[in-house]
Structure 1
Amino acid sequence: MMSRLSMLTLGGRRRFDDLSEQEILALAIGSEEEDGQIYRAYAARLRADYPHSAALFDAMAEAEDEHRRRLIARYKQRFGDFIIPIRREHIAGYYARKPVWLMRNLGLDRVREEAAAMERQARDFYLAAARRSTDADTRALLGDLAAAESAHERTAEALSEQHLDGAGRDAEDAVAHRQFVLTWVQPGLAGLMDGSVSTLAPIFATAFATQNPWTTFLVGLSASIGAGISMGFTEAAHDDGKISGRGSPLKRGLASGVMTAIGGLGHALPYLIPNFWLATSIAFAVVFVELWAIVWIQNRYMETPFLRAAFQIVLGGGLVLATGILIGGT
């Protein structure tokens, strides 16, 4: 009775050290089957935009199928036709696959990272299990599985060179960069521009009308957070990304809302300083940095000529700033 209880963990799962060779082999079969399905899911998600990477994952799935067939043949030779239904989730401490393949907007770099992690996890686990094993046959089996995973890793590298040559990788990286710009940079830039420029007039009008730093800070805080909430919801609601291809509305709304609030808070926070003229001087310096940051982002990611971006942003921001000062000073 106690020996049976010792084979169970608190969660009702078996310990790997308590598995028989038959159970280990069945576990390996299930693991190879699941990995093949994951690679096919990656290929299906990437096929439209990244055909070269999709071909790579199709080939990796076929390699997993071949491993599974070899394992099944060995299992049948030693233990018969019935394969024990044992999976990763039944084993305590066994590596688990994160369900990232279920994500709708899974980036190319993330897919490649997850695939590399899958290979490393499988290889490292089998090596560690082989070192812990005291049974000669089980140790040999685990060593064979570790060698198979290492071979698979080398195969993946060779397939990557075959399917992802320089031109193919550059083309897919360009698509991934474009998606990053559409999902994160463009809405974030729009938010930063709105938060930095649109809040200039109310903040500096309040500052010069009251010359009260605390009142100015409260106006700037409310204007910045309110604008951030408004911009975030507007960005998320007006385009679901399915037709435009701009990506997740949640990500775009988050980028736009956060950057809008940051843009306004940048020149509102100096008014936490009690000295009005010191706070105002720092706020002017912050505005200068904000406007040039917008120019740099436009030039770096949106490919807007630097001089044109500088003229548009600095001129527009200067006019709004001047408007706020004039209104507040009257």
Structure 2
Amino acid sequence: MRLFSFGRRRFADLSEREILALAISAEEDDGRIYATYAGRLEADYPASAAVFRAMEREEDGHRRALIAEHERRFGPTIPLIRREHVADYVGRRPVWLVDNLGIERIRAEAERMEEDAARFYEAAAQRTGDAGTRRLLGDLARAERTHRDRAEALEQEHLPPEARAEEAKAARRQLILTLVQPGLAGLMDGSVSTLAPIFATAFATRDPGTTLTVGLAAAIGAGISMGFTEAAHDDGKLSGRGSPLKRGLATGLMTTIGGLGHALPYLIRDFWTATAVAFVVVFLELWAIVWIQNRFMETPVLRATVQVVLGGALVLVAGILIGGG
């Protein structure tokens, strides 16, 4: 195992002083992570931000207790040792990979952090022969194990039902702005705008292979174009629409899916069979768009039907007439 550690120490090789130093730096890091989460949630989820502020203060209390124990046994100079210096020590995911994934993902990550910390203190307690250090590490392990109960108590204190309802509403709004709305726009564009070129090609050539080639080009090209446009035109800072990368991916992917839906049936070599399947797919695509508009955007079914189904049917007919003419 040491052969692949690239100069890092194994946990089993650390001295008691190094274990304490590692625990101190880990508590400092976790406190900063909780502070970052609190800052990230402050604007939209103030009650949850207060929970993470309280957890940050608890981590700071653990850090001070560990520093006091280090001073008692080894003096005031703390060796520099961090998680990344230990080959078999649990790491932390970069904060920016987590805080863009929403409040529930952040809460799940915090629970994982507490569980990892508890296992570390339990293992560290077995490595020390000093009664005071062993007692402290055991107490910290129990504290980390009970942090879930503590977090629930903090949530009850800072997150009454009305505050949780407001946060759920804000989370749903953010989901719609960041994923649903861009994805819906992409699905509509991919499903509707590619109808004319695909079916014009189909009825002009009566060749499934040529139609499939045109359909693939139209779907993929539209997906790339729509994805880049969505990501580039709004960074989300002023509009509050969230990560441009996520919006761009949602738009591009759904645009491609919308176009591919009625292009892939032309994998079938018989023209009329492929076209019949493509008609069914178009029907399902358009009604899926109506359902999404009604479910997430609260658009009345009749209005969504007129906007999507009627508009899509007109584009489809135009493509058939152009190709058949």
TM range (shorter): over 0.9
Deviation digits for residues 26-46 of structure 1, max 9, x if unmatched?
221221111111111111111
Aligned to 2:162: 167
Q: Deviations over 1:245-299 (max 9, x none)?
A: 1112221111111111111111011111110110011000100110011011111
> Structure 2 CA distance, aligned partners of 1:90 and 1:141?
23
Residue 89 of structure 1 is matched in structure 2 by 84
Q: Is the 8 A contact 1:88 1:96 kept in 2?
A: yes
Check whether the contact 1:8–1:14 (CA below 8 A) recurs between aligned residues.
no
Distance 1:97 1:10 in 2: 17
Per the TM alignment, residue 86 of structure 1 is displaced from its structure 2 partner at its CA by 1.9
Q: 1:278–1:31: structure 2 CA closer, same or farther, 3 Å change rule? A: same
- Segment drifting more, 318-327 vs 186-195: 318-327
Q: Deviations over 1:214-243 (max 9, x none)?
A: 111111111111211221121122212121
How many residue pairs are counted as aligned between the two chains?
Answer: 324
Pairwise mapping of residues 31-50 of structure 1 onto structure 2 (< 5 A)?
31-50=26-45
Runs of 5+ consecutive residues of structure 2 not aligned to the other structure:
none
Instruction: Quote the offset at 1:102 in angstroms.
Output: 7.1
> Structure 1 residue 121 and structure 2 residue 116: aligned?
yes
Which one of 216, 224, 229 corresponds to residue 224 of structure 2?
229
How big is each residue's C-alpha offset from its partner over 1:182-216, in whole Å with a ceiling of 9 and x where there is no partner?
Answer: 11111111111111111111111111122111111
- Aligned amino acid, residue 209 of structure 1: A
Residue 244 (structure 1) aligned to one of 224, 228, 239: 239
Cα distance change of structure 1 residues 59 and 273 upon mapping to structure 2, 3 Å threshold: same
Q: With structure 2 as the length reference, what TM-score do the two structures score?
A: 0.92
Alignment of 1:1-330 (within 5 A): 10-101=5-96, 105-130=100-125, 133=127, 135=129, 137=131, 140=135, 142-330=137-325
The alignment partner of 2:156 has SS state of helix
What is the TM-score with the length of structure 1 in the denominator?
0.91
Give the CA deviation at 1:21.
2.2
Deviation at 1:136, TM superposition (A): 7.2
C-alpha deviation, 1:165, in angstroms: 1.8
> Could you tell me how far 1:105 is from its partner in structure 2?
3.5
- Distance in 2 (CA, whole Å) between partners of 1:78 and 1:85 is 17
Q: CA deviation at 1:313?
A: 1.1
Q: Letter of the 1:213 partner, please give it.
A: P
